[in-house]
Amino acid sequence: MELKPRVDIINPAFQSSKGRLFAGTSGVLETSANKNAWAQLVNPLESNVNLYVSFFALTNFSTKLVKADFVVNADPPGIPRRSSDVSVLKLASNHKPVGEILFNPSVSGSFSGGRVVGTRALSPQKTELGFRVDGRLIIEPGTNAMFFLCSRTSAESQIEFEWYESKAIF
């Protein structure tokens, strides 16, 4: 019996080969005893696509602990900024993402609505994988996923998102 080679391709690699895999980061998020910060991946209501989140990464640049609540479908405080640090991961592709990374680097108050579905303690001077979801988190049109950060002392952090976009739900 002749054995034939088999190659398994993980879904993010397949999506990248089609020019549908994107990654990006928030700006630097500055928290303190009186200020919070947030970053979210948003799917605009009129997008007609779903965002399938591959993973989140959270970086704490400071020497102090930072708390990060993972919140879905919340309204964050302050005026959002759109990150320009987003790219398709098939480097020769000219595809543009529909999903947007919005953030506010330093705000008073907390979010309204939504639901906290997880919390991470971000260790000092470390990057941590937030949740490896491999496409199981689906951000449908008009919904969002957010990290809301707070700390007792001055700290700087950053959030990275990776996702692919498709009209179909598998």
DSSP assignment of 70-105: EEEEEE-SS--EE-S-EEESSTT-----SSEEEEEE
For residue 136, the model assigns a pLDDT of 81
Instruction: Compute the mean pLDDT over every residue in the chain, rounded to the nearest whole number.
Output: 91
CA angle 5, 52, 72 (to 5 degrees): 145
Residue 67 scores a pLDDT above 90: yes
Q: What is the pLDDT of residues 32-41, one digit of tens each?
A: 999 999 999 9
How far apart are the C-alpha atoms of 148 and 70, rounded to whole Å?
7
For residue 16, the model assigns a pLDDT of 72
The secondary structure element, H or E, covering residue 33 is: none
Q: What is the pLDDT of residues 76-104, one digit of tens each?
A: 999 999 999 999 998 899 999 999 999 99
58: helix, coil or strand? strand
Q: For residues 18-42, give the mean pLDDT.
A: 95
